[in-house]
């Protein structure tokens, strides 16, 4: 794909995610559903954090494209390295995990992750923008250009560290409020919850490996953007 076309795509994707993130963080309602609580605001939900993550990623990608267009190749090389690390370790695995886990749990019992009362607060298009469109966007990014993945050990350590930070945030919120971010967590005993977190981490690792596999199958071992 031509650099100018990539720049246009990445700019539009950045604007889209910025708009979606802005929309969900500014949803207003006179009477919030009883399932919601104020502590942590929207920033306790992985879905919202993922929207911000995607906006940052596409912003960095657009910057890399612009630097290549204006022939600032030394600066572009550094930004591209950051872009690829951000995509491989976080942007692809997190968006894939958010989409798959949400719709699996929603199909099983939506009250565990997205109570029906939210239908009157969050428009249908916004729900799909947050939980459905993120996966096709991630796949399209892999098809658009190759990304250099870090060494497997480094990538998984970084991914695991970010997962640890989010789990710690969820547990902190529970320790302060006595309420779980997601109603699903209330169903588990402490050991069951630990097993659930471990299983979720295993799925995220699978998503990481899946992205690396797709990148390698489509672009081969040696073709990387520069």
State residue 204's pLDDT score.
97
The pTM of this model reads 0.91
State residue 37's pLDDT score.
58
State residue 155's pLDDT score.
95
Three-class secondary structure of residue 79 per DSSP: helix
The secondary structure element, H or E, covering residue 46 is helix 46-69
State residue 220's pLDDT score.
86
State residue 36's pLDDT score.
59
State residue 117's pLDDT score.
84
State residue 225's pLDDT score.
42
Do 110 and 80 form a contact (C-beta atoms < 8 A)? no
Do 92 and 100 form a contact (C-beta atoms < 8 A)? no
Low-confidence residues in the chain, pLDDT < 50: 224-226
Rounded CA-CA distance 36/147 in Å is: 38
């Amino acid at each position: 794909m031509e650099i100018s076309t990539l720049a246009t795509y990445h700019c539009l994707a950045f604007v889209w995610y910025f708009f979606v993130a802005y929309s969900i963080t500014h949803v207003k309602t006179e009477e919030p559903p009883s399932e919601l609580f104020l502590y942590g605001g929207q920033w306790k939900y992985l879905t919202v954090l993922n929207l911000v993550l995607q906006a940052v990623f596409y912003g960095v990608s657009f910057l890399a494209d612009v630097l290549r267009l204006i022939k600032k190749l030394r600066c572009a090389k550094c930004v591209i390295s950051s872009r690829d690390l951000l995509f491989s370790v976080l942007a692809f695995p997190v968006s894939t995990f958010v989409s798959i886990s949400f719709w699996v749990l929603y199909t099983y019992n939506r009250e565990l992750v997205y109570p029906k009362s939210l239908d009157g607060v969050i428009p249908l298009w916004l729900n799909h923008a947050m939980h459905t469109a993120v996966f096709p966007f991630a796949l399209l990014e892999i098809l658009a250009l190759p990304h250099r993945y870090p060494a497997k050990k480094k990538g998984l350590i970084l991914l695991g560290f970010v997962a640890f930070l989010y789990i710690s945030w969820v547990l902190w919120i529970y320790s302060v409020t006595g309420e779980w971010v997601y109603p699903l967590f209330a169903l588990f005993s402490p050991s069951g919850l630990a097993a659930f977190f471990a299983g979720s981490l295993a799925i995220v690792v699978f998503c990481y490996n899946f992205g690396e596999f797709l990148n390698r199958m489509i672009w081969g071992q040696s073709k990387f953007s520069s």
